[in-house]
Chain A
Amino acid sequence: MWKKIVSICAVLFILITSQAHAHVMNADNAYNDLNYTEAKGEILFITALGMTNSQDETATFRPNDSLAMEELAEFVAAYYHLEGENTVQQVVEKGWISSLKGNATFADVNEAFFAGELAIENGSESLTREAFAMFISEHGSSLIEEAGFTEGPVGQVEAVEQKEISVDGKDTHQYHIQIGDETIILAAHPYVDAPSVDPTVWEGMYVTTSLLMEDPHDNGEEVAQFLSISEDPPVQEQVVEEETSSIDEESKKETAEVVEEEKGNHYANWLFIGLVVVVVFIVVGLYMKKRN
């Protein structure tokens, strides 16, 4: 029995401290209950922003639950790194939210994170926790910089290279990801909205968002803490492709019209020549007849 206890303790210890490989967190392993939500990427995004740091240890996000005012206060307190006792009460005292009672509305979220400056139509509606994540993702570009992130390169992953480095005397692997002409380093524990947690599999896929931040766990280098990766090209590129193809279609149409027009002119020329020939024959015929 003692062997088991020692082993389990060792396992727990190593799970907390191991950095042998990057431990990528995605929707499968960051939370246990994201199977059926449409907001996986958004939930990982607010997690990367640090909003869920004070959540319980059950590794659940409860996406379909209503967002309570107290939970909104927890998100705010975690995002702004409030310290000391009763941080949720501090959020109320600072005037970021009006109270801790009841469920939150879109207006409450707007007030808490954007000083009420967003123009929203559904302010009085309450929202679920996944709707909160979607709202923050949609409007939260200002929060990215405020949280200390810089936006990194986006585009197709050209190559992924694994390098061995030493952090605090411990050997670890670091992934270098080439996106276009730029290379970013993957953090030891990044949040990634991707179909795979294995970075080498991302080759050929598309990075649509990358957020970088200096990390003491990576020798203080600026590393990618959040990535959004898709197997398909981003919609914008598809739109450009569609636009290009529609332009091609139009130019084809125009070319066809010009060809048709040219064809028409060609027939008119021949008709004109034919008429001239007929008129010449008639004139010559009349002249010959008169002469005879």
Chain B
Amino acid sequence: MAQPDGTYRLSGEWLNTESDLSYYFRADHVYMVYERPEGHVILIGQVLQNKDGQSASLILEEGFYNGFFLPKELLEELIPFTLSYETLKNLDGVEQPYLTQKDGYLQLQTK
């Protein structure tokens, strides 16, 4: 979403209209909550650049099902979303993109 100052951001509010999970972007972590009558899932992660430097993914660090730890192996399998830098480069003024977490949104920045 383009901002008046020419920057781009992905708002948690918009993402939540497209997803069954509720995403809460904070400057330190991204929190995800999925609530059903039979269970309550909380996931915590960070948006980090992948090893190839060509994309960034939301990497999960911890997860809980009804308050109990989810195994690390399961969290490694779950990648909620990945953003390709190649796609982001199509936006005006974006040459070397990277993403930072802010309160309420992901900020697209360029080196």
A residues bordering B, Cβ < 8 Å?
3-4, 6-7, 9-11, 14-15, 18, 20-21, 23, 28-29, 162, 171, 195-198, 200-201, 203-205, 231
CA distance in complex: A6, B65 (Å) = 10
CB contact under 8 A between A23 and B28, given known A11-B44, A195-B100, A203-B53: yes
B26 to A: closest C-beta gap in Å? 8
CA distance in complex: A23, B62 (Å) = 13
CB contact under 8 A between A10 and B111, given known A195-B100, A198-B100: no
In the complex, chain B residues whose CB is within 8 Å of the CB of A15: 44
Contact in complex: A11, B28 (CB < 8 Å): no
Contact in complex: B40, A7 (CB < 8 Å): yes
Contact in complex: A28, B64 (CB < 8 Å): no
Q: Which of the residues B44, B48, B67 comes within 8 Å of A3, measured between beta carbons?
A: B67
Most chain A CB inside 10 Å of its own CB: which residue of B61, B67, B72: B67
Give the residue name and chain of the A residue nearest to B49 (CB): A200
Q: Which residues of B53-86 are within 8 A (CB) of A? A: 53, 56, 59, 61-62, 64, 66-69, 72
Q: Which of the residues B46, B62, B101 comes within 8 Å of A14, measured between beta carbons?
A: B62
Contact in complex: A21, B27 (CB < 8 Å): no
Contact in complex: B98, A196 (CB < 8 Å): yes
CA distance in complex: A21, B109 (Å) = 22
B22 to A: closest C-beta gap in Å? 13
Q: Which residues of B9-39 are within 8 A (CB) of A? A: 26-28, 31
In the complex, chain B residues whose CB is within 8 Å of the CB of A11: 31, 42, 44, 64
Q: Which of the residues B26, B48, B67, B100 comes within 8 Å of A200, measured between beta carbons?
A: B48
Give the residue name and chain of the B residue nearest to A201 (CB): B98
Give the residue name and chain of the B residue nearest to A200 (CB): B49
CA distance in complex: A107, B29 (Å) = 41
B71 to A: closest C-beta gap in Å? 12
In the complex, chain A residues whose CB is within 8 Å of the CB of B49: 198, 200-201
Give the residue name and chain of the B residue nearest to A203 (CB): B53
CA distance in complex: A21, B57 (Å) = 14
In the complex, chain B residues whose CB is within 8 Å of the CB of A28: 27, 100-103
Q: Which of the residues B40, B46, B100, B111 comes within 8 Å of A21, measured between beta carbons?
A: B46
CA distance in complex: A198, B57 (Å) = 12
CA distance in complex: A198, B68 (Å) = 28
CA distance in complex: A41, B61 (Å) = 28
CA distance in complex: A265, B83 (Å) = 68
A49 to B: closest C-beta gap in Å? 21
In the complex, chain B residues whose CB is within 8 Å of the CB of A18: 44, 61-62
Contact in complex: A231, B46 (CB < 8 Å): no
Q: Which of the residues A6, A21, A195, A205 comes within 8 Å of B59, measured between beta carbons?
A: A21
In the complex, chain B residues whose CB is within 8 Å of the CB of A4: 40
Closest 9 CB pairs of A and B: A6-B67, A29-B27, A28-B27, A20-B61, A29-B28, A200-B49, A201-B98, A14-B62, A7-B67
CA distance in complex: A197, B31 (Å) = 17
Contact in complex: B40, A198 (CB < 8 Å): no
A279 to B: closest C-beta gap in Å? 71
| 26 residue pairs from A and B, CB less than 8 Å apart | A3-B40, A3-B67, A6-B67, A7-B40, A9-B67, A11-B44, A14-B44, A14-B62, A18-B61, A18-B62, A21-B46, A21-B59, A28-B27, A28-B100, A28-B101, A28-B103, A195-B100, A196-B98, A196-B109, A197-B46, A197-B101, A198-B47, A198-B98, A200-B51, A201-B98, A205-B111
